[in-house]
Structure formats: C-alpha cells, structure tokens
Amino acid sequence: MGVWLESGSGLFYLHFMDSREVMKRVGAIIEAHGTGVLATVDEDGNPHVRWLTPTMLRERPGALYAITAPRFAKVAQVRSHARVEWMFQTPSLDEVISIRGTINVVENPSLRAEVLEVLGQRLQTFWKLAHDARDLVVLETVVEEATRFLPMDGRKDVVRF
C-alpha cells in the first residue's frame, strides 16, 4: 500500500505500512531486544509506565501477550482502565513503535502455558518477584492502532487495525 509522488527528479513510490507489516516490525524488535514499555492509568488517573517482556503468538495475530502476577498493581489498573499503550524501540532509537489497544486479564491455564513456553527463558527478573508459575495471569493487548516513527527519516506511519 502506498502512493506515487512527483518530485523534481521524477516519480517515486512512498510505501505505507499495513497492520501485518507493523506487527512484523514489533515482533523483530521484541525478538532482538526482549522488552517494551507498558503505560497504564490508575484509578486516580495517574499514568504508570513499566518495562515488560511481551511476546506475539503466531496463531493470534493483532495481539501482544505478557505474563504477570494478579497481585501486581498493573492488574488492578488495567481492570479499571483497559486502554493501554506499549512502546518499542531499537537501541539506536532509529525506529520507535507505539501500540494502542485494549488489554484483557486472562486467567486461562492453556493460554498461560502457551505464553510461558515462549517467554519463560526471558523472565529472569520477573521470577525474582513472582515465585509461583501457577499464580500468574496473561495480559492480552488487542491492538487497535500502531504508530511507527523513523526519526532519522522524519517519517511517521499510523496504522489502524
């Protein structure tokens, strides 16, 4: 998807990203760097941000998944305010992707096992705080919009899902 534009040197094609492409880029950043920043809002309207280790599941496109303990503050926050934003970036900051969506707290043992199978080895810090794998919930973010910013190119793409 894109558009042909004319410049002094002729025609050139400006490519626009679609939802599949932007999620592929998010997946590549997660695979390479392992973390993203999740922003939530508490019951008083105060914003909270924290690093999390999310993943994507191939058979569930258009969503991000993370594991947490139900006693952590973010669970109460997303239960009362389900709209969230994730931010992913490359270490050089030449690509920054923000994902907006609605988050669900899922207490399904099968989904929990599936997400843990993918994330388990990348959760060393998390396991210092949450000791029992049976006492975990899945945070499922259903993506509604993504913004990809390439600061070095001065380019910004917004994709609605």
Nearest to 54 by CA among 69, 64, 39: 64
Query: pLDDT, tens digit, for every residue of 20-49?
Result: 999 999 999 999 998 999 999 999 999 999
Higher pLDDT, 61 or 141: 141
Distance between CA atoms of residues 114 and 58, nearest Å: 11
pTM of the model: 0.83
Q: What tokens were used for 99?
A: 């994902």
d(CA 149, CA 154): 8
pLDDT at residue 129, as a whole number: 58
**The one-letter amino acid at 124:** Q
Domains of the chain, with CATH numbers?
Answer: 18-160 (2.30.110.10)
